Amino acid sequence: MLKSYFLAARPRTLPAAIVPVWVGCVLAWKFVGGLDWVLALFTLLGALCVQIATNFFNDAIDHEKGADTRERLGPQRATAGGLLSRRAVYGGAFIFLFLACLASVPLIQSRGWVIIAIGLPSLYLTYGYTGGPVPLAYLGLGELFVILFFGMVAVGGTFYVQTGEWLWPAGVVGLQVGLLSAVLIAINNLRDLKEDRESGKKTVAVRLGPGVLQQMAGGFVILAMILSLCGHYYGAGWFFLLSVPWFAVGVTCICGVKASPPGRHYNRYLAGAALQLVLFAVLFTVAVAI
């Protein structure tokens, strides 16, 4: 049972929750010279719980809508694979939503209504990403959602929790994190194109074709790299040069996707995109520390 819940939590996706908090804290340290580690811990716990709740809802809802089947090219899903009932997966999602609410209490006490304003839409969209009257992932808005919420809102919110300010560098770095996170979603949607088309899941790849999404994903990586030049203006002048390794990983993944039709081998490119995101955080930390 626990192994099935672990599978439904999709641990390989968790860098998308960890990295925004990580880089937001690093940037805050650069500006204020220190961190409130208690607030950092609760921010991270909240982000992880939101990500896991999203994954649980996604697992159950995609199965309900026929977007996940036993024949899928990606990793096995708990609901579609018969490992957990739909009710059990929904229950797990609500537990993690509750834990996210608990983690937000110290943040609200520290920063007030702004955290509530960020938190309420985030909590709803754990479900609204794939469910509800406007399921973003089913309308081709998945990449935009990730750029905004797992990038700019997550990094900017973390920075605000630590500093009490909204400053433009947090927006720029947040946009970079969001763009690289969106590469993950794009490769995932390219891999699942056939299944999504058959189930009526109108991702960008389904609506506009795989070629368009491939170009978009490549553009995400290039734009994120260009934005590294902004490091010169907020005290991370080496960031552009230090970005070469994660940029190379991203380009390799995009070229691999362009060179071959969707298949299980796309899972390697997904792993590469996750590595790119982690490398971004590591090298950003080095650039800020220099």
pLDDT of residue 39: 96
Provide the domain count of the chain: 1
Query: How many beta carbons lie within 10 A of that of residue 198, not counting itself?
Result: 12
Nearest Cα neighbor of 262 from 218, 202, 211 is 211
What is the domain range of residue 210?
A: 2-285
Query: CATH number for the domain including 182?
Result: 1.10.600
Whether residue 155 is contained in a domain is answered as yes
Whether residue 290 is contained in a domain is answered as no
Q: What is the mean pLDDT of each run of 10 residues along the chain (290 residues)?
A: 76 88 96 92 95 88 67 62 78 92 94 91 88 83 90 95 93 96 92 82 87 93 96 90 96 92 85 94 94
In the chain, count H helices and then E strands. 14, 0
Predicted TM-score (pTM) of this structure: 0.91
pLDDT of residue 74: 56
Whether residue 123 is contained in a domain is answered as yes
Whether residue 145 is contained in a domain is answered as yes
Q: How far is CA 180 from CA 194, 197, 274, in A?
A: 24, 25, 9
pLDDT of residue 235: 87
CB 177 within 8 A of CB 60: no
pLDDT of residue 66: 64
CA–CA dist 257, 265 (Å, integer): 9
pLDDT of residue 85: 78
Whether residue 242 is contained in a domain is answered as yes
Nearest Cα neighbor of 266 from 154, 187, 151 is 187
Nearest Cα neighbor of 45 from 99, 125, 120, 114 is 99
Whether residue 95 is contained in a domain is answered as yes
pLDDT of residue 78: 66
pLDDT of residue 83: 67
Whether residue 45 is contained in a domain is answered as yes
pLDDT of residue 204: 86
pLDDT of residue 73: 56
